[in-house]
């Protein structure tokens, strides 16, 4: 017996957003019987919609995506290697006229710009592939250092008390007259400024 032809109406029905809504409602613990009653359809229709979306989710899960991306990268590595080798050995063709023969000659020289760009690509790939140190050890050290600093730190009240006691000690010291430093006085005397001041007096 030949399989029934899938008409356009059946194709549209299979892509209907109602399948997704029924699946999401089932995830929200709404039974198929309740959904069938609300939509006025059979329970079998609701279960088929849910099953269809479960199959779709199984084919498009994160694990499947990861495998597909990994397979894509692995399959593209030979072409990427060939392309990278071509970039690293890129040459430029120059036309030069031979003055002796008058003919055009072609010379090949290294394309430094392209090769430098290829080296940048290789450097970027190497930086991605190099394993980085664990961030947990760094956090532990920072936490220990912070805890040690916090343990030896003083509170605001203790700091105010310490500063006030230093101020009181300083106030008990005898007053000091700040005079002109000796080296300035010596220079003034050698320049003759002191004599002029004495004459004015």
- pLDDT tens digits, one per residue of 70-102: 999 899 989 989 998 999 999 998 888 888 888
- pLDDT tens figures, 27-45: 888 999 998 988 899 999 8
Residues 6+ apart with CB under 8 A from 111: 90, 91, 92
Round to whole Å and give the CA distance between 176 and 195. 28
- In the chain, what percentage of residues exceed pLDDT 90? 7
Q: Which residues of 188-201 are buried (b: 16+ CB within 10 A; e: fewer)?
A: eeeeeeeeeeeeee
Calculate helix-pair angle for 18-27, 43-59, nearest 10 degrees: 90
Higher pLDDT, 144 or 78: 78
Round to whole Å and give the CA distance between 164 and 123. 60
**Cβ atoms 105, 97 nearer than 8 A:** yes
Q: What is the pLDDT of residue 178?
A: 59
Residues 6+ apart with CB under 8 A from 157: none
Q: What's the whole-number mean pLDDT along residues 152-168?
A: 83
Higher pLDDT, 6 or 18: 18
Q: What is the pLDDT of residue 75?
A: 92
Higher pLDDT, 77 or 189: 77
**Cβ atoms 121, 87 nearer than 8 A:** yes
């Amino acid at each position: 017996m030949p399989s029934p032809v899938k008409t356009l109406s059946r194709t549209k029905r299979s892509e209907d957003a109602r399948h997704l809504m029924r699946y999401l409602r089932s995830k929200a613990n709404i039974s198929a019987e309740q959904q069938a009653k609300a939509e006025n359809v059979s329970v079998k229709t609701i279960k088929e919609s849910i099953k269809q979306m479960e199959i779709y989710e199984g084919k498009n899960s994160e694990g499947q995506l990861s495998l597909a991306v990994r397979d894509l990268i692995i399959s593209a590595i030979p072409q990427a290697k060939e392309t990278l080798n071509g970039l690293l050995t890129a040459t430029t063709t120059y036309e030069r006229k031979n003055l002796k023969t008058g003919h055009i000659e072609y010379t090949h020289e290294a394309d430094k710009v392209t090769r430098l760009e290829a080296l940048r690509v290789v450097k970027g790939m190497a930086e991605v592939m190099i394993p980085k140190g664990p961030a947990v050890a760094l956090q532990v050290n920072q936490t220990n250092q912070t805890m040690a600093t916090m343990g030896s730190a003083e509170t605001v009240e203790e700091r105010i008390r310490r500063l006030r006691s230093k101020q009181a000690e300083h106030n008990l010291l005898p007053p000091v007259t700040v005079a002109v430093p000796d080296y300035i006085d010596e220079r003034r005397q050698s320049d003759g400024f002191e004599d002029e001041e004495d004459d004015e007096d």
